[in-house]
């Protein structure tokens, strides 16, 4: 399971991603939809651990990914 809680990313005064929340259950298939510049790539980079969020957390199988190196 993937849990995303209050995930945000700022670049200076620009809010690239603002406080997103969701859960994805094991076996569930989801997609990210949005306009160009909506923050989809930034959100996915934070969820996969390639980019550190300004605030919020991502858990994969109850492990906070910021506590574990890829």
pLDDT tens-digit readout, 17-57? 999 999 999 999 999 999 999 999 999 999 999 999 999 99
Cβ 32 vs Cβ 6: under 8 Å: no
What is d(CA 70, CA 68) in angstroms, rounded to the nearest whole number? 7
pLDDT in tens, 6-15: 999 999 999 9
From the list 30, 24, 20, the residue with the least C-alpha distance to 57 is 20
The answer to whether the predicted template modeling score (pTM) of the entire model surpasses 0.85 is yes
Write the CA distances from 50 to 17, 27, 28, integer angstroms: 15, 23, 22
How high is the pLDDT of residue 44? 95
CATH 3.40.50.300 fits 2-67, yes or no: yes
């Amino acid at each position: 399971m993937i849990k995303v809680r209050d995930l945000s990313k700022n670049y200076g005064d620009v809010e690239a991603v603002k406080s997103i929340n969701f859960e994805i259950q094991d076996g569930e298939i989801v997609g990210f939809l949005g306009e160009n510049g909506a923050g989809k790539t930034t959100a996915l980079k934070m969820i996969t651990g390639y980019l550190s969020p300004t605030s919020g957390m991502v858990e994969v199988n109850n492990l906070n990914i910021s506590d574990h190196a890829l």
